[in-house]
Amino acid sequence: MSRDRAFVEELLTLADVRLDGERPWDIAVHDDRLFHRVVSAGSLGLGEAYMDGWWDCERLDVLFDRLLSARLDRKVHPLRFAWHAARSRLFNRQRRSRAFEIGERHYDIGNDLYERMLDRRMIYSCGYWREADDLDAAQEAKLDLICRKLRLAPGQRVLDIGCGWGGAAAWAAEKYGVSVVGITVSREQVALATERWGHLPVEFRLQDWRDVEGPFDRIFSIGMFEHVGYKNYRRFFEKVRSLLAPDGLFVLHTIGGNRSVTRTDPWIERYIFPNSMLPSARQITTGYEDLFALEDWHSFGHDYDRTLMCWHERFENTWPEIAERYGERFRRMWRYYLLSCAGSFRSRRNQLWQLVLSPD
């Protein structure tokens, strides 16, 4: 047995995971080069090896719940990533000149993919499952929850920072009689949102948050703050404060982490969300200190596990319709993304927060 295999096998015992075992969360090894790749490249190597077909697992979501609950991600520290960690502290990786990269590399990859994976309104963020039985109901419950927290009323002017495919803006306009400006860094999202919802009092713009001009009676941001970056948190909250009416409200819906960090997982960074990172509670509160008063902090990260599992089911069920365009390696990458993230929420390593803030 190689030294690398012995090291990986010893680590996995801490999470009760076996190599070539028979349980759904055990790892089936197809290529012994896997072990050196994991030891030398950590989570990036593990993810790339899965994409390349070097290993499989029947229940990736359960596997990652076990790995993360056992904190195994903190036990492998490849030297090759020391520079990446330093770079994230030295440079602003979410600066204005890179703002549109996430749109081009993630959100613009194909509306056909997202139409099949998401709910009918194409809401690409955590649903609210408290009284919902399916994905459509969970997303509509989340949208209405945000609108009620904002205390929307007819005639108000509202800003949606990170509007996606327009579903949230359309809900607010339809159900509450407000007009909405939605901004995104994705050309495909602007095009589809305008086509779908152009009959409503909504306007969708390809625009960075730093370039918006106000004022607005209400502002919300759903699943966009993860792309702001810790070096920009203060500036982000200052910008929102400058755009918001003195008696306004701001709802921030974001994934959060239990620790303050300066970068994201290397595999997620390379293949899914470039220039992203999850904020901690401390980073958020420091960012808005002396600008906003906290009215409410709502945590329901367990709902994201269920949302991701729904997305995965819909993705797999409709895969034959888009397989020729995207290819098998993409399928493995996307499956790995959805199920590893489900495991991260199940293990409580990732959180989902909604904050209601008022001008201080």
Provide the annotated active-site residues: 341
- Rounded to whole angstroms, the Cα distance separating 283 from 353 reads 13
Residue 288's H or E segment, with its range, is: helix 281-288
Going by their DSSP bridges, the two strands 216-222 and 244-257 should be labelled as: parallel
Contact 229, 209 (CB under 8 A): no
Contact 173, 214 (CB under 8 A): no
- Rounded to whole angstroms, the Cα distance separating 16 from 2 reads 21
Beta-carbon-side half-sphere exposure of residue 22 (alpha carbons within 13 Å): 0
Count how many residues are written for the chain. 360
Bridge partners (DSSP) listed for residue 257 = 280, 350
Going by their DSSP bridges, the two strands 55-56 and 28-29 should be labelled as: antiparallel
Going by the DSSP 8-state scheme, the letter that residue 67 receives in this structure is H
Residues near 289 by beta carbon (within 8 Å), at least 6 away in sequence: none
Q: Which residue is it, tokens 């991701």? A: 308
Going by the DSSP 8-state scheme, the letter that residue 16 receives in this structure is T
Bridge partners (DSSP) listed for residue 27 = 19
Q: Which residue is it, tokens 């397989």? A: 323
- Rounded to whole angstroms, the Cα distance separating 176 from 198 reads 17
Contact 342, 312 (CB under 8 A): yes
Contact 252, 223 (CB under 8 A): no
Nearest-10 crossing angle of helices 233-243, 281-288: 50
> At 341, is the secondary structure helix, strand, or coil?
helix
Contact 260, 329 (CB under 8 A): no
